[in-house]
Structures are given as structure tokens and as C-alpha cells.
């Protein structure tokens, strides 16, 4: 364990972090839904890490390949004194490629899952003794501020993994607008964005043969059972993921295997057989479509890297 870790607790209980409120509101709605940020308890973060290693899930390894090839160019654009701020840091290994190329004076990892965040940032502090390592536990889908040490210090924000795709396009633009406000005048944003492609490749990535994505989706119900007063039975739901081409997104659902009534915190909710609980959208963009979105949030697209197959993109946006 490293003593060098600076920890900032920026959780805001009023800002939509409550699983209870989310489930009670989402189960009462038509169609039923729960926001994907609730996937990431400890088990969910571990399962996501495992998804990233599945052969069908191309985004992680493709983004790593792009970053490995582009790291020196990125370092040149960012400049020598840029602090690195990683959003949704989790167990990310990608940031190591950047740390090694940029050699920044300080790093801040921001994540919603405290345990995972502590573990991964402590490891970074151990492995890079020259680096000042900060960790902020925060829900970055809500407006937030950078800790003082990072304010106005030429930060480069890094938002990998196409997590931007988990917002609806309107929310994505609002989120990018918040980030634009968060960064100092000469700051930049390096962001990974999954690209549109054929249905087969996309659907395979969200229906891996080992069943890890299914377990990740169903863990949301396990979490409701563990953390709330609920009799929900995860076994009575099935994982479903498909490409909604018209909307340019993968949709994930949990489908009720039978007609059932579920109790949560004293309230009862009816699920018909085949009724779906919508748990995630994962939007896929064209390069131009994403650039337009970024411009709409005030950013200036400066550089772009993709892989030879055109599966994934990494954009450098200037504030
Ligand atoms: C975190 N996010 C970008 C992943 C995605 O691909 O949308 C989450 C995920 N859901 C199922 N598999 C991976």
C-alpha cells in the first residue's frame, strides 16, 4: 500500500447515486429501466474487467493498440507539463501507456467505485514513484469540479473505453460541455469512441460465448438483492443484447422469463413474461458524427487515430 495516494471523496448523495431511488423510479416507469452506472459495484467492476479480456469484446484491445501507436504523438500535442486526469479509471491499463509516454507531474483517477479506484491508483503510485497520484471517488456523470491541485493546471483529460457511448447523444453533449467547463483554457480531452460497424461484430461483443456480459448484466439484479430489501430472483431474468441500427446503439436488457411480482423496499412491481428491463445503451458513432457532437460542446477536434480495420477511434479535442 502506498502512502503517496491523495484521496478526494466527491460523492454527492443528492446527485443521483442512490440505487434505491433509481430502482423505485425505473421499475415504476414504462418501459422499465435502470441506469448503467449501477452496474459498477465491486463484482460489477470485476466482471467488466473480465469482459474487456473476452475475445469478442474488441474495443479494449483495439483502443490499447491505437494508444500504443499514438502515445508519442499524444505526448507531443499535450506538452511536457500536462497533468493527466482519467475519468472512469477502474482497473485501466491503458493509462499506463500514456503515463509512460507523457511522464506527467501528477495524475488524478476519478471513478464511482471506491474500492476499485483505491486499488488501481495505489498500484499506479507504487509502480510510478515519480508520479503524484490523486484519486477522486465521484459520479462524473454529474457536474463536478477538479480538486485544487488540478484546477487551471493545463490538464489532459482521458476518457477511454467509449464510455461516452453509454450516454444518450443529448446527455453526451451535455457531459462534454461540462468537461469543457472543467478544463483550463489550454486543456485537452483524449477520448475513445467506438465506431459503427457490422451487426455481427457488434452483437458478438455484447453476447460473448463465456457468458461474462450476461453475468455482468444479471449482477445488477444480484446487487439489488444484496443492497436493497428485495426478493428479486436474478435467475428469473435473461440477458439480451442487440444492435438497434436505426438508433446506432447496442441495447442491453434483462428479460423476465415469466410473469412475476417483485418486491423492492416495500413496493411491488409486476413483470409480464417477456417484459424487458432496459439496462444499457452503447452508442456507436461515425468519426464525423462524433466530431460534430464534440464541436457542439465547444471542443475543437485536433487529431484522430483509428486502427487499420476502422473498429475504434481515439480523438484529441482541444478545449
Ligand atoms: C463501459 N462501456 C463503454 C461498456 C460498453 O461497451 O458500452 C460497458 C459494457 N456493457 C456491456 N459490455 C460492456
Question: Can you tell me whether residue 145 is helix, strand or coil?
Answer: coil
| Closest CA relative to residue 191, chosen from 309, 96, 291, 49 | 291
Ligand 1 binding pocket includes 62 (Cβ within 6 Å): no
The pLDDT, as a whole number, for residue 80 is: 85
Decide: 91 and 114 in contact? Cβ < 8 Å. no
The pLDDT, as a whole number, for residue 126 is: 95
Instruction: Choose one of 163, 192, 241 to mutate for the ligand 1 pocket test, by most ligand atoms within 8 angstroms of C-beta.
Output: 163
Ligand 1 binding pocket includes 166 (Cβ within 6 Å): yes
The pLDDT, as a whole number, for residue 258 is: 98
The pLDDT, as a whole number, for residue 249 is: 98
Q: Which atom of ligand 1 is nearest to the CA of 282?
A: 7
Give burial (CB, 10 Å; 0-12/13-18/19+) of 4: middle
Query: For the segment 109-158, what is each residue's pLDDT rounded down to a tens digit?
Result: 998 888 888 989 999 999 999 999 999 998 877 777 888 777 667 789 99
Q: Where are the alpha helices (DSSP H) in the chain?
A: 19-28, 42-51, 58-78, 94-102, 114-127, 169-182, 199-205, 212-227, 287-296
Ligand 1 binding pocket includes 163 (Cβ within 6 Å): yes
For residue 3, the surrounding DSSP H or E stretch is none
Ligand 1 binding pocket includes 162 (Cβ within 6 Å): yes
Beta pairing partners, 72: none
| Distance between Cα 153 and ligand 1 center (Å) | 31
Ligand 1 binding pocket includes 92 (Cβ within 6 Å): no
Query: For the segment 165-209, what is each residue's pLDDT rounded down to a tens digit?
Result: 999 999 999 999 999 988 878 899 999 999 999 999 999 999 999
Decide: 194 and 289 in contact? Cβ < 8 Å. no
Lowest mean pLDDT among 10-24, 39-53, 256-270: 10-24
Query: For the segment 262-291, what is each residue's pLDDT rounded down to a tens digit?
Result: 999 999 999 999 999 999 999 999 999 999
Ligand 1 binding pocket includes 111 (Cβ within 6 Å): no
How far is residue 20 CA from its own chain's centroid? Answer: 21
Over residues 235-240, the mean pLDDT reads 98
Query: H/E/C letters for each residue in 18-30?
Result: CHHHHHHHHHHCC
The pLDDT, as a whole number, for residue 13 is: 52
Question: Can you tell me whether residue 283 is helix, strand or coil?
Answer: strand
Question: What's the whole-number average pLDDT of the chain?
Answer: 93
SS3 content of the chain, % helix, strand, coil (to 5): 40, 25, 35
Q: How many residues does the chain have?
A: 319
Decide: 283 and 173 in contact? Cβ < 8 Å. no
User: How far apart are the C-alpha atoms of 158 and 315, rounded to whole Å?
Assistant: 10
Amino acid at each position: 500500500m502506498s502512502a503517496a495516494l491523495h484521496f478526494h471523496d466527491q460523492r454527492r448523495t443528492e446527485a443521483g447515486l442512490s440505487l434505491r431511488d433509481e430502482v423505485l423510479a425505473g421499475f415504476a416507469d414504462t418501459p422499465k429501466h435502470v441506469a448503467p452506472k449501477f452496474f459498477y459495484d465491486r463484482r460489477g467492476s470485476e466482471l467488466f474487467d473480465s469482459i474487456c479480456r473476452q475475445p469478442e469484446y474488441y474495443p479494449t484491445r483495439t483502443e490499447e493498440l491505437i494508444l500504443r501507436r499514438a502515445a508519442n504523438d499524444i505526448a507531443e500535442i499535450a506538452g511536457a507539463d500536462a497533468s493527466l486526469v482519467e475519468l472512469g479509471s477502474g482497473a485501466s491499463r491503458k493509462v499506463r501507456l500514456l503515463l509512460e509516454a507523457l511522464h506527467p507531474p501528477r495524475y488524478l483517477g476519478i471513478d464511482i467505485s471506491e474500492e476499485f479506484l483505491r486499488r488501481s491508483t495505489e498500484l499506479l503510485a507504487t509502480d510510478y514513484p515519480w508520479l503524484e497520484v490523486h484519486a477522486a471517488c465521484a459520479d462524473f456523470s454529474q457536474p463536478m469540479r477538479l480538486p485544487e491541485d488540478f484546477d487551471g493546471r493545463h490538464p489532459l483529460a482521458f476518457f477511454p473505453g467509449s464510455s461516452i457511448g453509454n450516454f444518450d447523444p443529448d446527455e453526451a453533449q451535455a457531459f462534454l460541455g461540462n468537461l469543457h467547463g472543467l478544463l483550463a483554457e489550454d486543456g485537452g480531452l483524449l477520448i475513445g469512441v467506438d465506431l459503427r460497424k457490422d451487426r455481427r461484430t457488434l452483437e458478438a461483443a455484447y453476447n460473448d460465448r463465456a457468458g461474462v456480459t450476461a453475468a455482468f448484466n444479471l449482477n445488477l439484479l444480484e446487487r439489488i438483492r444484496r443492497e436493497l430489501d428485495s426478493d428479486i430472483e436474478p435467475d428469473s431474468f435473461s440477458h439480451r443484447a442487440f444492435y438497434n441500427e436505426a438508433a446506432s446503439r447496442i441495447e442491453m436488457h434483462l428479460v423476465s422469463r415469466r410473469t412475476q411480482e417483485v418486491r423492492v423496499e416495500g413496493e411491488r412491481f409486476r413483470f409480464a413474461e417477456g417484459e424487458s428491463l432496459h439496462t444499457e445503451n452503447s452508442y456507436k458513432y461515425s468519426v464525423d458524427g462524433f466530431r460534430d457532437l464534440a464541436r457542439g460542446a465547444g471542443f475543437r477536434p485536433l487529431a484522430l487515430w483509428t486502427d487499420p480495420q476502422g473498429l475504434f477511434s481515439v480523438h484529441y479535442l482541444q478545449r
